[in-house]
Amino acid sequence: MFIGQEGNGESNHDRTKYYVTPELIWKPAKNLQLLVAVPLGVTGAAGDYGVVDSVTWEWENVTDRSADKD
């Protein structure tokens, strides 16, 4: 299990939205990754908080086949 942190945001002429986003990443298998993150607003225009989740399944080498033969 990994703990990470991101900084992200958006700015234009009207307002600036910045977030600090702590995240928890878990790789229960070689080709599977689960992520949960909670963006926390640090400027007035940003929302108070949110929740982001993702599931990543890598297809590369799933079948463990060598290079295709003609």
Q: What is the mean pLDDT of residues 7-32?
A: 91
Q: Which residues face 22 on adjacent strands? A: 5
- For residue 55 the two structure tokens come to 């599931």
- The residues spanned by each domain of the chain are 2-9+16-57
- For residue 41 the two structure tokens come to 């607003």
**What pLDDT does 66 receive?**
59
- For the whole model, what pTM was predicted? 0.67
Position 32 pLDDT exceeds 90:
yes
Separation of first and last alpha carbons in the chain: 42
**What pLDDT does 14 receive?**
87
Q: What is the mean pLDDT of residues 45-66?
A: 81
Tell me the percentage of the chain whose pLDDT exceeds 90: 41
